Every structure is written in structure tokens, then in C-alpha cells.
Amino acid sequence: MSMDNSVALKFILVGRWAVGKTSFIRSMMHQEVSDQYKLTVGADMTAVSTTVDGEPVSIYLWDIAGQSRFVGLYPTFFKGAHIAILMYDISPEGRESFDQLEELVGSIRQQTWVQRDDEVEEDIPIFCIANKTDLVKNGTYVTDEEISSKMRDLGVAGHFKTSARLNKGVSDAFDQMVAYAWHFYKDRGLIHSDDDDHIELTQARSSDGGCMGLFGRLLGR
């Protein structure tokens, strides 16, 4: 499923409640980021049209609720993901969200894999984002060395720092992840952009989460 005949990639955005996942997407779409916390119910999906190396790409970005009551839905929403983004809160209050990363990586790796015809199994790329950098002026619970060491242990493809509130680092992180994803799947022969019949890649279907507070938004950036 894609908006036109472009390559379609499913991204999942996961992390503890209130780390700023919904705010990150709003910031990326140049929408207002409210200071009021309003939990996500189930998941929301935002469709983003962009280009990589001049080729059109559609990103289906799934914002997955972090409250523990929704964790049982993770397998449904993770299904068919091409890229996972794990977000944690780097403000002094965010320790628990950082400590949860191993568990989240474990459940993502269990539920997702690169879809290939040749039966070779491979993990999908995972990125991490430290959000709320505007709140670390007076220090926080983790050093850059500890972050680097954890990212190495988790085997993530990249790490970014953002402030959704101040719209800092947001678009840059997103653009880098999209470019990485496109090259990752292209290198594996899973994007055939020269052949209209095989241009589709995605496993994402908006009906997967149909009854769970799902809103499809079709927006350009």
C-alpha cells in the first residue's frame, strides 16, 4: 500500500509513556506541541511523502502508545515494520525509559524481521532517540559514554538527541533514518524502483489496528 507508486516503508515509534513520541511527530509535521500530556490510545499512523536520492518514498509512521495497558498490542502494531525507532526521555525524570530499552529491543527483534524471498533472516534496523534535551541543562542521569556503550550493546543503527518541544534535531533525525532505511532495503534488493510491478515493499496495513484509535493522516511535509 502506498500513496502513489512510490516505495512504502513502515516505521514504528516505540517507548515508555510520555517520552514524547506523539510530540516528536507533531514537531516533525510543524504542528504545535502542547505542554499538556494527552496519552495515545492504541496507535496513530501518519503517512509522510518524501524523497531519497530524488526517488519518492512513502513513510507510514506508527506512533505506538506507551502506557502499559497497551503493551499487549505491540505484536499487532510491530507486524511488518521495516524500521523501529525507540525513544527515551533524557531529562532527569527519564531514567526508567532508558532502562527499558533492552526489553523493547528484545520484543521488537522477536516480532519483526526483514522480509526476503530467500529465507535468510535478518533483524530490522533499530534507531534510538533521546528526547527532551531542553531539560538537561543542569545535568541528567546518564553520561554520553554510558549512552554510547548501551547503544553498542543493543546493536542499534544510530542514536539521535532531540527536543520535540523546541523542534531541535527532529527533522534531521527523521531524514537520516529515512535515508538509512531506503539504502538498507535497496542494498538488499528489496526495493525495485525501476520496475513498476515490484515497487511495493510494505507489509503495513492500516486495517491492522483499525479499531484501536487509529487515524490515518495523509500529509506532505
Ligand X SMILES: Nc1nc2c(ncn2[C@@H]2O[C@H](COP(=O)(O)OP(=O)(O)OP(=O)(O)O)[C@@H](O)[C@H]2O)c(=O)[nH]1
Binding mask 68-107 for ligand X (x = CB under 6 A): ----------------------------------------
DSSP 135-198: G-TT--S--HHHHHHHHHHHT-SEEEEEBTTTTBSHHHHHHHHHHHHHHHHHHTT---TT-GGG
The window from 4-12, 130-138, 176-184, 195-203 that contacts ligand X (CB under 6 A) reads 130-138
Residue 219: phi and psi, rounded to 5, are: -140, 140
Contact 86, 104 (CB under 8 A): yes
| Residue 131 binding ligand X, by CB under 6 A | yes
Binding mask 39-78 for Mg ion (x = CB under 5 A): -x--------------------------------------
| Residue 173 binding ligand X, by CB under 6 A | no
The window from 99-107, 111-119, 132-140, 203-211 that contacts ligand X (CB under 6 A) reads 132-140
Choose which of 2, 6, 22, 91 interacts with Mg ion (CB under 5 A).
22
User: Site size for ligand X, by CB under 6 A?
Assistant: 25
For ligand X, give the closer residue by CB, 58 or 133: 133
AA letter at 78: F
For ligand X, give the closer residue by CB, 36 or 138: 36
Contact 5, 196 (CB under 8 A): yes
CA distance 154 to 162: 20
The site partner of 23 among ligand X, Mg ion, none (C-beta below 5 to 8 Å per kind) is ligand X
Determine how many CB atoms are found less than 10 A away from the CB of residue 30. Answer: 11
In this structure, is the dihedral angle defined by the CA atoms of residues 152, 157, 162 and 164, taken in order, positive or negative? negative
For ligand X, give the closer residue by CB, 93 or 122: 93
Query: Which of 77, 115, 88 is CA-nearest to residue 21?
Result: 88
Task: List contacts with ligand X (CB under 6 A).
Answer: 17-23, 33-40, 65-67, 131-132, 134-135, 163-165
